[in-house]
Amino acid sequence: MRIRKVAIVGAGTMGCSIAENIGEKGFQVFLVDRTDELLEEARSRIELSLNKRLEKWGITEAEKRITLGRIRLTTNLEDVATCELIIEAVQEDSDVKKKVLSDLDRICQPQAILASNTSTFSITELAEATGRPEKVIGLHFLSPVTRVKVVEIVRGLKTSEDTFEAVKGFVNSLDKTGVEVYDSPGFVTTRLIIPLLNQAMNALMEGVASASDIDSSMKLGFGLPRGPLEMADRMGLDTVLTSMEGLFRELGDFSFRPCPLLRKLVRGGHLGVKTGQGFFKYDAEGNLVEPNENVEYQGARG
């Protein structure tokens, strides 16, 4: 099966990034969300990302215009009916994802592939919300999508070989490496990165070191492009908390038990880059400005 038209359902940060990446690789893309206001925010988010890349000579003005021209914004889910691949990128809520996949199953052509960008939920379970579990697969893109070269291709229990091969070919056409993953809580990337983020938060909460020093230690000591606390801010602290809770529930491993400081920040509406502050503060363009002085050190400091 040749994939030419792709739809993304959910125009949040991740959905926009996926749409931008797919659009620049020559595919026609439909980006769907509930309201015109959300789509206008999405358009602005994509243009801002492209402008940043333009300023750094990563793309040309012509390439920016062409990419934007390939992305169609719509509130009508029926518009994706002729797409060969539809990727849901809605909030990390299994009931919401199942509803979206069920609606897509009803609307789309029988041969269409339905994919989920979930980082934690079972593809096998999500697929059962449809009448085509053999055509449901996980496509877990990592942020920032335009720069990260790996995509987890997650097989559900009933995912067919034809579905896997079609999606693998699509991922290759994005100049990314698709890693084959079998359905398991957190897959590979989320399962391995979450304990690191959690321990960095616990170290901060206990007063072991400041947020800046924790991140500097990991960047300089292990060659990470970003420290774990900034990484969590960019993933979205609410998303990180949801992932931790799901992994802790599924696996029972205390390395996934959410740090109390993370819960405190999420309850206070400090969700990271998308709200301007989390463990650090960020400007309107998402650049790190300074540590967040509202993050308290809970442990003894001597």
pLDDT at residue 302, rounded to an integer: 39
pLDDT at residue 92, rounded to an integer: 87
What whole-number distance in Å separates Cα of residue 292 and Cα of residue 137?
39
**Is the domain of 213 the same as that of 271?**
yes
Range 105-129 average pLDDT: 96
- Token pair for residue 48? 């801002």
194-206 pLDDT per residue, tens: 999 999 999 999 9
What whole-number distance in Å separates Cα of residue 67 and Cα of residue 165?
26
User: Is residue 301 predicted with pLDDT exceeding 50?
Assistant: no
pLDDT at residue 297, rounded to an integer: 56
Mean pLDDT of the chain: 94
pTM: 0.90
Count of structural domains, the chain? 2
What whole-number distance in Å separates Cα of residue 98 and Cα of residue 96?
5
Regarding predicted confidence, which is higher, 97 or 274? 97
197-256 pLDDT per residue, tens: 999 999 999 999 999 999 999 999 999 999 999 999 999 999 999 999 999 999 999 999
Using the 3D structure, point to which of 182, 215, 233 is the last residue of a domain: 182
DSSP state of 9: E
**Is the domain of 230 the same as that of 98?**
no
Using the 3D structure, point to which of 182, 217, 232 is the last residue of a domain: 182
Asked if residue 300 belongs to a domain, the reply is no
Show the domain range for 221: 189-291
290 beta partners: 281
Cis peptide before 225 (omega within 30 of 0): no
pLDDT at residue 296, rounded to an integer: 60
Percent of the chain with pLDDT over 90: 88
Using the 3D structure, point to which of 158, 182, 206 is the last residue of a domain: 182
User: Is residue 79 predicted with pLDDT exceeding 50?
Assistant: yes
**Is the domain of 141 the same as that of 203?**
no
Of 47-51, 126-130, 162-166, the one with minimum mean pLDDT is 47-51
- Token pair for residue 92? 């990390």
